[in-house]
C-alpha cells in the first residue's frame, strides 16, 4: 500500500516495467492501473473540501 502514495508514484518507469499486482475482489490488477484508480478516488473525495475552501474567495 505504501507504493500507492504520491511520492512513490513518481517513479513511473519502474511501476510500469515491474509487474506488481494487487488482488482486489478476486481479480489480479496491475499496480499502474491501481495507482490511477486510487488517484481518481482521492481527487473525488477531496473535491467537496476544495469547493468549501474556495467558495468564499472572490476574484478581484
CA 6 centroid distance within chain: 7
pTM for the whole thing? 0.62
Q: Which set of grid coordinates corresponds to residue 6?
A: 504520491
Give me the numbers of helices (H) and strands (E) for the chain, helices first please.
Answer: 3, 2
Phi-psi region of 25 (alpha: psi -120 to 50; beta: other; left: phi over 0): left
What is the residue whose three cell numbers read 499486482?
A: 21
Contacts of 7 (CB under 8 A, 6+ apart): none
Domains of the chain, residue spans: 2-54
Per-residue pLDDT in tens (0 to 9) along the chain, 60 residues: 666 666 666 666 766 677 788 888 899 988 878 888 888 898 999 999 989 888 877 776
Amino acid at each position: 500500500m505504501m507504493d500507492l502514495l504520491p511520492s512513490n508514484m513518481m517513479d513511473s518507469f519502474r511501476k510500469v516495467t515491474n509487474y506488481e499486482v494487487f488482488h482486489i475482489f478476486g481479480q489480479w490488477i496491475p499496480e499502474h492501473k491501481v495507482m490511477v484508480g486510487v488517484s481518481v478516488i482521492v481527487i473525488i473525495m477531496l473535491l467537496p473540501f476544495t469547493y468549501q475552501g474556495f467558495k468564499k474567495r472572490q476574484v478581484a
